[in-house]
Amino acid sequence: MSFYTTGHVDNFTRENLPPREQWPWLNQKFIETNYPERLNASEELIDKTIELVGQDKLAIIAADGNYTYGELLKKISQISNYLESVGVQPGNRVLLRGPNCASLVILWLAILRVGAVAVTTIHLQRANELEKMLGVAKVQFACIDHRFTEDWNEVSNYTGQVLIFGGENGIFEKAMEFPTVHRPCNTASDDVSILAFTSGSTGVPKATIHFHRDILAIADTFSKQILKPVKEDVFACSAPLAFTFGLGASVVFPFRIGATTLLMESAPPPVLIEKVREHKVSVLFTAPTAYRAILKSTDNLDLPSLRRCVSAGEHLPESTWTSWFEATGIKLIDGIGATEMLHIFISASDDDVVPGMTGKEVPGYEAIIVNDEFTELPAGEIGFLAVRGPTGVRYLNDVRQNVYAVNGWNVTGDLYLKDANGYFKYQSRADDMIISSGYNIAAPEVENALLVHEAVSEVAVVGEPDEERGMLVVAYIVLQASHKESSELIKELQDHVKHKIAPFKYPRRIVFVQSLPKTTTGKLQRFRLKNSDK
């Protein structure tokens, strides 16, 4: 397949795609059947949806404003016209920094509408984390929530334009003088729409590239075939839009069918469940950690509006599935996805759900279990999960492309088995990535943050099983001779990490040790610390 003629003026992302021979196999039959040569995902999610449900259907419920689909289109059009007025061109990278809110969604859709590339970040990320992303993506414009400028102002490698939203005289106020009509950029279906960052096991972030058609494909596979939403649904998700899990759940899936999305800037379990009641949420997405916390936080789980609950981001224990079903009567929809694949590719719903199993391949995708030699394994044997479908890994100018894309398959780094009935069962992660409460945390990144503290001589960070969080970030630390172990020092080190990197990455447990296990050549052996009694 050759590329379609691009609608981009700035071809940086296309020029930094991996060579075609390094791409995984893509389901061309699905792609060619569903998506024309020219399409703009923003137009498909808003303009085309209005044709289905009308201008007056409620699209967004949020603290910073509720919007019907008609109001949303007018605001997106104004922002699109404003972005073009300040020089945003098709193909430019535009960074977004802010919590889940209506303004963030409007900006995201406007960026795609003008043909630019959205680079959404988590508002809690620190300056050094943002600098790494900027170094990869070569961002030219940055839209920053006025409440989260402190860390942004410490970024040292950004020379582009900064556009503030929220507060006084921000983007939205300036855009009010612009027309409420905008013609979408004539993008190709394989023009780049977003760069979604995922942590590597080395702590160096990778930018995953996704096309305009990919945005729609996740709605037309998992959402349409497994979730089966209707336009009357109200969606809610605890994950940030910077995570593709949250992007799909809070924006793409509801907007594809004309449903309503509830956007929450903060959604701890007690708040989440109250919001479900208040707004009659019918489709809920969150991590197993949150479902367990909800079960513990309340005895009243009578939630008549709720009909669909999706669990992803980490392994769903069978005990959590059973407890939720007994408390609510709702069968949790488990699923595994990846930033590289954009969303969920193995799942099951309704009568197809088998507790303790992730599910089967989502229609449009294929999956196999392979060994180290990439030989497919028979049913019941544990090996590496490999998947392929209409979406697939394409890293932006990253040599790790060949690690994830192998023999035409996407190798996720998860160990699974497939049973005789075709169901996939999760076993463990195959690398040192720690998945805690649905967040990907690279052990070396936490180690680097700790090593700059004056008390730390050596450190090794590992993930250890935890019933509440799935995995717990644990730091084994060798202290400098000038410092002594104490509970006060533990808290000081934890606070130190929170200030150096995103707070959710801090070690929940710190163990002081005399030495760390190493090879004869001095290489750290993290595996010897996992589940140790030190």
- 270 domain residue, yes or no: yes
Residues 245 and 345 in one domain: yes
- 6 domain residue, yes or no: no
| Total tally of structural domains belonging to the chain | 2
Instruction: For residue 108, give the CATH number of its domain.
Output: 3.40.50.12780
- 534 domain residue, yes or no: no
Residues 524 and 381 in one domain: no
Enumerate the β-bridge partners of residue 164. Answer: 144
Residues 407 and 324 in one domain: yes
- 1 domain residue, yes or no: no
- 18 domain residue, yes or no: yes
Q: Model's pTM, two decimal places? A: 0.88
Indicate the DSSP class of residue 4: P
Distance between CA atoms of 67 and 61, rounded to whole angstroms? 7
What are the helix and strand counts (H, E) for the chain?
Answer: 18, 25
Indicate left, alpha or beta for 99 from its phi (over 0: left) and psi (-120 to 50: alpha): beta
Residues 366 and 439 in one domain: no
Residues 98 and 80 in one domain: yes
Residues 36 and 146 in one domain: yes
Range of the domain at 281: 12-424
* Rounded to 5°, angle at Cα 187 from 186 and 188: 125
Distance between CA atoms of 127 and 525, rounded to whole angstroms? 30
Choose the final residue of a domain: 377, 400, 424.
424
Residues 328 and 472 in one domain: no
Residues 154 and 195 in one domain: yes
pLDDT at 199: 67
SS3 for 350? Answer: helix
Angstrom CA distances, 330 to 134, 307, 325, 327, 350, stand at 42, 7, 5, 8, 9
Two tokens, residue 79:
């922002």
Residues 384 and 447 in one domain: no
Contacts of 491-499 spanning 24+ positions with Cβ under 8 A: 492/453, 492/455, 493/450, 493/453, 493/455, 493/456, 496/449, 496/450, 496/453, 497/446, 497/449, 497/450, 499/126
Residues 144 and 223 in one domain: yes
pLDDT at 534: 43
- 187 domain residue, yes or no: yes
Cα radius of gyration rounded to whole Å, the chain: 23
- 331 domain residue, yes or no: yes
Other beta carbons within 10 angstroms of residue 343's beta carbon come to: 28
Residues 483 and 341 in one domain: no
Angle between helices 102-113 and 69-85 (to 10 degrees): 60
Phi, psi of 357 (to 5 degrees): -105, 140
Two tokens, residue 386:
């490999």
Other beta carbons within 10 angstroms of residue 204's beta carbon come to: 15
Mean pLDDT by 10 residues, the chain (534 residues): 88 97 98 98 98 98 97 98 98 98 98 98 93 96 97 96 94 97 98 89 82 98 98 96 96 98 91 94 93 84 94 85 94 96 97 96 98 95 96 97 97 94 88 80 85 91 88 94 95 96 94 84 70 52
Phi, psi of 401 (to 5 degrees): -55, -45
141 CB burial (10 A radius; 0-12, 13-18, 19+): buried
Angle between helices 443-451 and 487-500 (to 10 degrees): 110
115 CB burial (10 A radius; 0-12, 13-18, 19+): buried
Choose the final residue of a domain: 424, 443, 471.
424
The residue behind tokens 């023999």 is 407
Per the CB < 8 A criterion, the answer to whether 146 and 170 are in contact is yes
Residues 90 and 220 in one domain: yes
Choose the final residue of a domain: 401, 424, 447.
424
Instruction: For residue 497, give the CATH number of its domain.
Output: 3.30.300.30
Enumerate the β-bridge partners of residue 207. Answer: 197
- 533 domain residue, yes or no: no
